[in-house]
């Protein structure tokens, strides 16, 4: 496998795009060798759903699109980035017991940590931001010369 693989998709900031982003990422992971039913694939899909939802809901219409980037480094680390053009960095919202929102970043941070990964946020040159999740790549690398 190559030392570095990348995939990217830009979608409209519309609630329907969350499902499209999740499906796109799922298809790329399969292409890169991760079984669709793997627990790690479920985790990545949930992270992408939360990040895409944040990009749609919390930019208040100021980001017409968002981009999902995937980077696989040397079969060791998967980096997932969701970029929007809104300048406000994500923050933990106070979540009352009866609220249905305000917990996305807590969930994302917990999922990343549970998998041995991390979360970071970087500004873009255009004034927006990218929320990055780095996760260990847990897919076994096929050995050259061995047949299944």
Full-model pTM: 0.85
pLDDT of 15 over the 60 cut: yes
Task: Give the distance from CA 42 to its chain's centroid.
Answer: 12
Res 98: pLDDT: 47
Angle between helices 39-57 and 16-31 (to 10 degrees): 150
Beta bridge partners of 118: 134
pLDDT of 120 over the 90 cut: yes
Going by pLDDT thresholds of 50, 70 and 90, the confidence category of residue 40 is very high
Res 103: pLDDT: 66
Give the per-residue SS3 of the chain.
CCCEEEEEEEEECCCHHHHHHHHHHHHHHHHCCCCCCCHHHHHHHHHHHHHHHHHHHCCCCCCCEEEEEEEEECCCEEEEEEEECCCCCCCCCCCCCCCCCCCHHHHHHHHHHHCCCEEEEEECCCCCEEEEEEEECCCCCCCCCCCC
User: Token match 């669709």: residue?
Assistant: 36
pLDDT of 79 over the 60 cut: yes
From CA 33, how far away is CA 14, in angstroms rounded? Answer: 30
């Amino acid at each position: 496998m190559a030392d570095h693989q990348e995939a990217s998709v830009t979608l409209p900031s519309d609630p329907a795009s969350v499902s499209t982003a999740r499906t796109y990422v799922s298809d790329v992971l399969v292409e890169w060798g991760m079984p669709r039913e793997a627990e790690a694939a479920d985790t990545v899909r949930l992270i992408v759903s939360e990040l895409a939802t944040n990009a749609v809901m919390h930019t208040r219409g100021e980001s017409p699109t968002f981009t999902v980037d995937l980077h696989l480094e040397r079969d060791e680390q998967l980096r997932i980035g969701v970029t929007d053009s809104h300048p406000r960095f994500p923050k933990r919202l106070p979540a009352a017991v009866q609220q249905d929102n305000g917990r996305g970043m807590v969930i994302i941070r917990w999922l990343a940590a549970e998998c041995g990964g991390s979360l970071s946020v970087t500004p873009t040159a255009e004034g927006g931001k990218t929320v990055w999740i780095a996760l260990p790549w847990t897919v076994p690398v096929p050995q050259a010369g061995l047949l299944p």
